Structure 1
Amino acid sequence: MSQTYQEAIENSNIVSRTDINGIITFVNEEFCKISGFTKEELLGSNHNIVRHPEVPKENFTLLWNTILSKKPYKTTVKNLCKDGSTVYLNTTITPILDENENIKEFIAIRYDVTQEVELKKDLEQKDKELNLLNKTLEEKVKKQTAKLLELNQTLEHRVAKEIEKNEEKQKLLFWQSRMASLGQMLANIAHQWRQPLTELTLTLFNVKKAVKKQSSKEIDKYYKESLEIINNMSKTIEDFSNFFNPNKEKEEFCLKSSIEEALAITKKMLEKNNIEINTNLEKIDIFGVSNEFSQIIINLLQNSTDAFKDKEKKKKISIKSFIDKDCAIIEFKDNAGGIEEKTLDKVFEPYFTTKHQSNGTGLGLFMSKMIIEKSLNGKMSLENCFDGINITIKLPLEK
């Protein structure tokens, strides 16, 4: 090997030579820098001066068996530095033969892979933590699913009580509306989870790319993003459980908060259908059950979303609330094309629907109007305006 090649190797790698017994006869400056030993401490010492105590003895048995059979040995070595720190080196040990084909010494060429090994360990640890989080999330989903089933049974029990109080037809309508509402909520859970699952897949892919780039900063960033997505998915289940809580008595509630809750629950559905929402909501307190009013807004949002289907236009929904004299006024408008004049006076009748039979029960507007009138002592009306509908809800401010 010419001196130029030798210098190039020594300047860019960590190099050492030992005799047949493993005694160090040469080290370059890079070897001294990474090990922390001086040349004087290393020359004449056995190469096991940098051996890490955690490395199994059988590794060294394989090493010696290989190089004594005149074959090169390649591996990633865990070494112990003088200050007690650990380094990982990709190492190739090559036997050097004399003119009689006998081994006269060994030369070892290494390069530092400590950062890559530590990154890999860090990623494996984060994978374990993510797996644990996934298991925890699965347990939460099971528990919340059980709660939803229990709540469903509670709803059925409440329906049975309503049947005892009211006329048969109205009782059946009430039961069917509640079941349709539950089905809509389950569909909304699917909408709420679809996007974060996509985001989680993308984030984990970015973690993989960050590892290849050896970017510890990006790994931490995407790891934290994954935790946030999983926690938000868990919170979604809790939000829907609270929404169906059947044990709420009538009390003062904020119309603005109730409307915003409905918008939060249907957010993914609205985004998926590219519907622009505009709100101008005053803080107005009403006496009643907040969940029931949120269900009304959800039903109106669902109806407008269905009406927008197959329409190529900029889709808009606006919701406005304000006080007029002694009443709270809520105006709900869309630009989905409105309703045919010949059917306009039938929209609040039970079982009337403009949707396909498989997509609607015809109970939404009927039950919404019934809740407004019977539970909130208000009024609900609908009319066509411009290129959509205008629904007006009028609620008294006194209890």
Structure 2
Amino acid sequence: MQNTIDQLIAWSKELKVLYVEDDLALREEVSLFLSDIFADIDLAINGKEGLLKLAQNHYDLVITDIRMPVMDGVEMIEKIKELYPNQPILVTSAHNESEYLVKLINLGVNNFITKPIQSDQILNVLYTIVKYISHEKALNQYKNDLEIANEKLKKFTNMQSKSIDLKNSILKAYKEALDKATMVSLTDKNGVITDVNDNFCKATGYSKEEIIGKTHHLISHPSTSRALYKDLWQTILDKKTWQGIILNQTKNLTPLYHYTTIVPILNHEDEIIEFIGILQDFTKQHDLNEQKSQDNLHLALNVKEDELLKHIPFPSVFIDNNLTFQAYNKLFEEVVSNHIDESLLGKLTTHELQLKALIDFEEMDLFNNVEEIKNNWPYDGDITFKGVVKSIGHMLCVLVKISDYEANRFLVCIVKEEDFELCCQVQER
């Protein structure tokens, strides 16, 4: 946790935050907590005042309550998304405000914390948000560097070579402008590579000796369509510049996403003598976008899981493939709290508690994960075992039902035997 806090503070030391909350005591308490992390904290008491401050200042992050007088958080977020579509937003909500969550997710809000606000909870959420903001800033800086390089490239490529001497001058100029920011290759008029820069070798993992004399098919990804290459060649053979995104791969088959520019070089008779290829690496941006999509999906699944668990009238929990507890409801927390082993509650909150530590099974003693249980026990979509929970003062005989939920995620209900049919009906719904 300390490493997470240190990294969060390092990323946040230059970030500015707007905190919108109508409750005076909570506003003062949370703003004091935030001031230890962020460079600058501005406050607003409702959505209307928050919008006014946004119109006058840039904020790296907006943290807002939902229910407020004058203008509530949902209406304010709708306005923000109209005016500042990429503004990062963190919503604080009470458990009884779940009806707003779907609307907020549809508005593009991906980050939530529930009241009462706990320091560990907000630190973990802030770490995820600030990590994304920090990476976005780095990518924007990288884009700016590429734009500067592209501007220089345009000046050079607009000057078509009229002689070999002029061509050499252009090659020297573009190398100075582009070598630090891009991968550069030269090919003859048949597409055979005659030279590459150091960035090309570093990015692909090939040496110059392995590349020169080959075509770009050496690094092409097998999933890239032939139609793309056909369009590319038709364009450059027509003496036009081709630009587009190409999926390539390294020597060890790692995918690379390149924004590629290919420029024909002409001699004084207006004939193609070679091509310059400039490849800008967008792999990091692609990976970040993929990660953001996964994070959004994980958030949506967590919201769905929490709502499901609240409505199951039995102690219930989600476990991963290694039988470790993840999300759980209040009834399940009570079972762990009343267990004769007092250390189990601490393990539950840190996601270190496993199913076999809480319940004594006869059948499962040799199994360490759900896949082993499936392979060694009759399985038709769910698994049921008898077990015993050692509670303070008594032994509770239970039936445990494990059901598929998502990939490598399973729903577990702990019920008395006479209540088991009701449990099955709840899980089917």
TM-score, scaled relative to structure 1: 0.34
Q: Which has the larger radius of gyration?
A: 1
Tell me the TM-score normalised to structure 2 length: 0.32
Higher relative helix content? 1
